[in-house]
Amino acid sequence: MGAGMGLVMAPASTTIMATVPGRQAGAGSAVNDTIREACGARGIAIIGSLSTAAYRSRLASALATAHVPGSAAHVAAGSIAAAGILSRRVGGPEGTELARTAHSAFVTAMDTGMRVAACVALAAAIAAIFALPRRRQPQIAEVTRPARS
């Protein structure tokens, strides 16, 4: 993700600043920062919510299949940390199985979130290819040589 951000942020900032007149560079920079922060926070919230829903869904179904009591399942579905604490309190093979199931659900949920983020990034890249104006190739002027006298 860091490499992707590194590849995207500099060209995006350059594109934004290149479209703003020099006298409005401060406003352009402020808009760039605001968009980056607001969209970053929104992306984290959306992917985080999606991952949380996937974790809870996968863990709840696995715990229901294992006939774990509803109160314990509710605590474990709260977070991976809560599931870890609960698994240590339960102990034995049941606690080990609870920890394994919670870790599996967490990894699957994170995988789902990252796949969605990758698809959104790919869609945004394709949209940018079509939405951004094309650069014109510089024309090489024909140079005429002075006539020899």
In order, the DSSP letters of 17-56 are: HHHS-GGGHHHHHHHHHHHHHHHHHHHHHHHHHHHHHHHH
- Whether residue 3 is contained in a domain is answered as no
Distances (CA, A) of 105 to 20, 66, 117: 47, 14, 18
Q: Quote the number of domains for the chain.
A: 1
pLDDT of 13 over the 70 cut? yes
CB 4 within 8 A of CB 121: yes
Give the model confidence (pLDDT) of 16-57 as tens digits: 888 888 888 888 888 888 888 888 889 899 999 999 999 999
pLDDT for the residue 6 = 76
73 inside domain: yes
Q: Is residue 8 part of a domain?
A: no
How much is the pLDDT for 129? 84
**Residue partners of 11: CB distance under 8 A and separation at least 6:** none
For residue 105, tell me if it sits in a domain.
yes
* Alpha carbon distance 52, 79 (integer Å): 8
5 within some domain = no
pLDDT tens profile 46-90: 999 999 999 999 998 888 887 778 888 888 888 899 999 988 988
pTM: 0.70
Between 35 and 110, the more confident residue is 110
- Confirm whether 110 is domain-assigned: yes
Residue 18 lies in a domain: no
What is the domain range of residue 81?
A: 25-123
